[in-house]
Structure 1
């Protein structure tokens, strides 16, 4: 019996992905564990392994196809003894890859006949999740169309532009009377080039995810910002001494490695900040897993140093170098960038003096690190020149009170200015 190979969910939050590359072709024999394809999620490009044995009978989604929903049949595997020539494609006929559009504003391919508006009782897709293209979603929002009333004509019932063009506006389902509906978010201003020469760059899956999550964070999470100036001279001196001792091991600590350790130990000492807001409850974490912002060509990713407070700084340094390298190559596993109890973002290397970072939900806080620089600074009641940096904590005020956030910033400052506590 033919086996349907479906688009896998390579992370808990993945809803769709790009089938970046097939590593097999029709007629190839595969065994469990063989790498069949490379799939691009919103955070990384990952290898997809076979779980069954057989022969590739059909490839139903061509490489390069974007927006392939989880669960979509992407290929058909013939079992041992089956004649590949007689095997029908699982889940229906093969779906050719859609032609890439230069921008989201370009019309999607329309079916031969424009579909009539679907009756209100017909959902666009099975289950609670509605499968629709980004352009269709945007048009539906602008026209006030409830996508659950629209029948999709695209692959696997996907709603495309032609479907919402044919739907009647003003059919959005009203909110239940028993619940107070939140105020609708204002639709983003539509891009206009005003006749200015420009290039169009299609958003990557990662950039779309960044836009969605950070918009949600600023709209739904009440941020409170607390800033302290921290003298770095003692930390820089300790770093120099530790690097001299670690040189035979090939380890070189960065200031960022030491700040990761300092944030983790601060969270351990102020557990009221090592939390997540969870509706009518809070999650109180028993260890500090630090997500560290790393800039990569397509956007930003936050690999995690787990239980950083319990690790030696040399171990943090080694892990961080490996995580950053694989992040830039798109080779992180989901568990290496999903999770974390708090984040650290360092823009000091760009000369940024101070900034306020956006909380990475569902985390409760993020520490923003500015550049260390020579500044006039009062040392033992006299004005001197010292190496100083500004650090700003962004806290979710639903879960973390200002006094608790201030206590965390105080401990963070003390650990950096008296850094032997980082090696104790």
Structure 2
């Protein structure tokens, strides 16, 4: 057993609970070195590349693309060539990752026992067509018919086929490691005994007229996109690859579907009185599930209260225009100033620069400000973190925000780049939203919702003059932050935003 090693789902971050295999980059029987890319695993937010933690030989892939496993679950098994298949099965059984080979026949023979009385009274020639009827033109000779015992060492596919054909695997010689019986062994035994094996027809897949006909099995695509393309009869070569790492994603297949004018019909014919279905059911992906779970818990467990303030940003806009004009390599946005101002304000009011630990019912107060910036993606929302915002220059904040947003949209963020943070800024001003309130991103205790800046009439010394006003709303967790404390933070934020030169010293 010492020569067998499990390749497991790693824990990439404190909040990670499970991962979904999207693609394997190595195949069974392939040797690999420590650090080699083995597969890609999708978590709640991003797709990570799993590197080999040691040198080895990939003997068994346990989790196929599309399968979801908890952290620590066995993805594959590495073992030397001297290790038998039986030892690997025993190892997987001990890990609870795969049923032991002896257990599989029990599951398969139980349902197969039902047709046994039908076959038993007529063991002569009429019994031969029975399995043939269940498998097309496959004919199993009488000499191979029977029920498989629970001691046969066979692949799961061979066991299922034997149960379907009422074939006794005890009469089949296995050619695999440790005498394991495979599907090919079953087919060879049938032919050797004088029977015949049907050639399975290719999967039914209509091909669109005028479209690409070449094999698309090597096109890099997500499992969902590949299944959808097969159902619609769309060749993946005809789809634009806009997904992460240049893969064809579901949206690309849907775009091709619209381009070809395909109409998906319901499997049940609708009556004349029924109107056509005018909606599409879209299942939650892992990111949307994680967002729903975390924000529902935040809304339920954290008693939110909100404080709103209007900030005059004319001086900020003037400084931004001056810096952008004088320093060609720097292009500051209003959001960059807001992120920097939040970092500075958090250091002035450190009681807001905190995380709340639900388990220990305690508060972690940080000496540095890690400001998360909400980024909208087609599949949901992610909050990459500008580390040490309080000590960065405006140019550095701008450069870091741009880099993180680019990584977020391409799906290449590392876990440490979006997990954690002490405060979040969510800006919808670019969409013309005047003001809104946001839900706190746990374990943080506050989030700032930023609206659009617009000119509004302001009374100054009895005169009405235009000022550019930006409305912000601070959502606070009342378990940690009281009203006066939240107001103190907004006052400091207002001071930095309305006197932006303070952020330069």
- Whether 2:49 is the aligned partner of 1:63: answer no
Aligned 8 A contact 2:9 2:69 in 1: yes
In 1, Cα distance between equivalents of 2:475 and 2:321: 30
Pick aligned residue for 1:267 from 337, 340, 346: 346
Q: CA deviation at 1:245?
A: 2.6
Q: CA deviation at 1:359?
A: 0.6
For CA contacts below 8 A with separation 6 or more, give which structure has more relative contact order: 1
1:58-85: CA deviation from partner (whole Å, max 9, x where unpaired)? 11111122x3122222111123x53687
Q: Please, what is the CA RMSD of the aligned residues?
A: 2.3
Aligned to 1:40: 42
1:182-230: CA deviation from partner (whole Å, max 9, x where unpaired)? xxxxxxxxxxxx9963211111111111111111111111111010111
Q: CA deviation at 1:251?
A: 2.3
1:241-280: CA deviation from partner (whole Å, max 9, x where unpaired)? 1112321xx2211111111000111111112221233454
Aligned to 1:246: 327
Unaligned stretches of 5+ in structure 1? 97-110, 115-193
- Whether 2:93 is the aligned partner of 1:82: answer no
- Whether 2:207 is the aligned partner of 1:205: answer no
Aligned to 1:158: none
In 1, Cα distance between equivalents of 2:461 and 2:477: 35
Aligned 8 A contact 2:74 2:97 in 1: no
Q: CA deviation at 1:235?
A: 0.4
- Could you state the TM-score of these two structures normalised by the residue count of structure 1? 0.73
Aligned to 2:454: 373
Aligned to 1:285: 366
Change (3 A) 1:53 1:17: same
Change (3 A) 1:214 1:405: same
Aligned to 1:384: 465
Q: Secondary structure at the match of 2:447?
A: strand
Aligned 8 A contact 2:311 2:494 in 1: yes
In 1, Cα distance between equivalents of 2:63 and 2:71: 13
Change (3 A) 1:418 1:389: same
In 2, Cα distance between equivalents of 1:390 and 1:69: 43
Aligned to 2:479: 398
Structure 1 segment 187-336 matched on structure 2, within 5 A: 197-247=278-328, 250-278=329-357, 280-336=361-417
Aligned 8 A contact 2:323 2:330 in 1: no
In 1, Cα distance between equivalents of 2:356 and 2:276: 46
In 2, Cα distance between equivalents of 1:25 and 1:261: 48
Structure with greater proportional helix content: 2
Pick aligned residue for 1:14 from 9, 13, 16: 16
Q: Secondary structure at the match of 1:19?
A: strand
Aligned to 2:154: none
Q: CA deviation at 1:94?
A: 8.2
1:331-350: CA deviation from partner (whole Å, max 9, x where unpaired)? 11111111111100000001
Change (3 A) 1:381 1:82: farther
Change (3 A) 1:196 1:230: same
In 2, Cα distance between equivalents of 1:31 and 1:12: 28
Aligned 8 A contact 1:235 1:416 in 2: yes
Q: Secondary structure at the match of 1:371?
A: strand
In 2, Cα distance between equivalents of 1:294 and 1:384: 35
Pick aligned residue for 1:27 from 15, 18, 29: 29
Change (3 A) 1:280 1:28: closer
In 2, Cα distance between equivalents of 1:330 and 1:236: 32
In 2, Cα distance between equivalents of 1:334 and 1:380: 52
Q: Which structure has the bigger radius of gyration?
A: 2
Q: Secondary structure at the match of 1:88?
A: helix
In 2, Cα distance between equivalents of 1:241 and 1:393: 29
Aligned 8 A contact 1:59 1:94 in 2: no
1:115-152: CA deviation from partner (whole Å, max 9, x where unpaired)? xxxxxxxxxxxxxxxxxxxxxxxxxxxxxxxxxxxxxx
- Whether 2:47 is the aligned partner of 1:54: answer no
Aligned to 2:426: 345
* Corresponding residue pairs, total: 327
- Whether 2:502 is the aligned partner of 1:421: answer yes
Q: CA deviation at 1:323?
A: 0.7
In 2, Cα distance between equivalents of 1:42 and 1:50: 22
Q: CA deviation at 1:7?
A: 1.8
In 2, Cα distance between equivalents of 1:219 and 1:255: 33
Q: CA deviation at 1:307?
A: 1.0
